[in-house]
Chain A
Amino acid sequence: EVQLLESGGGLVQPGGSLRLSCAASGFTFSTYAMSWVRQAPGKGLEWVSVISGSGDGYTYDAESVKGRFTISRDISKSTVYLQMNSLRAEDTAVYFCARGAFSNGLYPFDKWGQGALVTVSS
C-alpha cells in the first residue's frame, strides 16, 4: 500500500525557516516525481514544488516560492523534503506531499499525504 507521511509542520515567525519531510513507502520511490502542494485555510489548492523521478532529480518551483523554498529527496530514505526559508504570513497553509500518478514523468497526483500545517505568525 502506498503511504506518504508528512512531518515537520508547526508555528514559525515571519522570516523564519522550517523543513518539512515526507516519508514514502509502498512503491519504487526513485522513479516517481514527488510534489508539494499547499492549501491555505478555507482556500484552494496551490502547487509549490516538484522533484522528478528521473536520475537527475530535476526540480521546479512555483513563482510564489522561487528562491525561498527548496525541494530535495533522499532516495535511500524514500523521503522528500521541503526547506522553507524567509517565510511569510501568506505561506500559512496545510502542506501536502503528493506522488505523480505514473513513473518517469510529470503526471497528476494520485497519492497524497495527510498534510502538515505550517503557521507563520508572530
Chain B
Amino acid sequence: EMVLTQSPGTLALSPGERATLSCRASQTIAKNYFAWYQQKPGQTPRLLIYGVSSRAPGVPDRFSGSGSGTDFTLTISRLEPEDFAVYYCQRYGSSPGLYTFGQGTKLEIK
C-alpha cells in the first residue's frame, strides 16, 4: 500500500513569505505521476500541479512543484492572502491502489 506523508501538518507564515510544503511517499512514484491540490474552506479541491512540476491552467507561477522518487515539494514563492488553505499531495494512475492522497498541510496566516 502506498502512503503519502505530508509535512508539516500546519504551517504558519505571513503574506509575502515563501512556503515550502513536503510530501514523502512510502514507495517510489512511477512516471512522475504526482500532483498537488489546494482546498479552501467550503470549496472543492483545485488541481495546482501535475506530473510533479507542471502547473494546471490558470495557476499562478508563484506555485511550483519539484522532486522525484519518494520526496516531493510544493513551493509558493511569495504568499498572497488567497493562498492560505489546505494543500494535498496525490499519487495517481499507477499501482498499487491507483490513487493516494496525503493527509494535508494547513497553511495558515501567522
Contacts and interface: CB of A to CB of B under 8 A. Distances in A.
Interface of A: 35, 44-47, 50, 60, 62-63, 96, 101, 105-110, 112-115
Contact of A108 (B47, B94, B104): B47
Is chain B's binding surface mostly helix, strand, loop or mixed?
strand
User: Residue among B1, B39, B86, B98 with the most chain A CB within 10 A?
Assistant: B98
Given A45-B88, A101-B50, A101-B56, A62 B44 contact: no
14 contacts: A44-B101, A44-B102, A45-B37, A47-B98, A47-B100, A60-B98, A105-B93, A106-B98, A106-B99, A107-B50, A107-B92, A108-B50, A110-B47, A112-B45
A75 B101 CA distance: 28
Given A45-B45, A113-B44, A35 B99 contact: yes
Contact of B45 (A60, A101, A105, A109): A109
A96 B44 contact: yes
A63 B97 contact: yes
Contact of B93 (A45, A106, A110, A112): A106
A101 B101 CA distance: 16
B103 interface: yes
A86 to B, nearest CB: 21
Contacts of A110: 47, 56
Contacts of B47: 101, 108-110
B17 to A, nearest CB: 24
By CB atoms of chain B within 10 A, which of A44, A60, A62 has the most?
A44
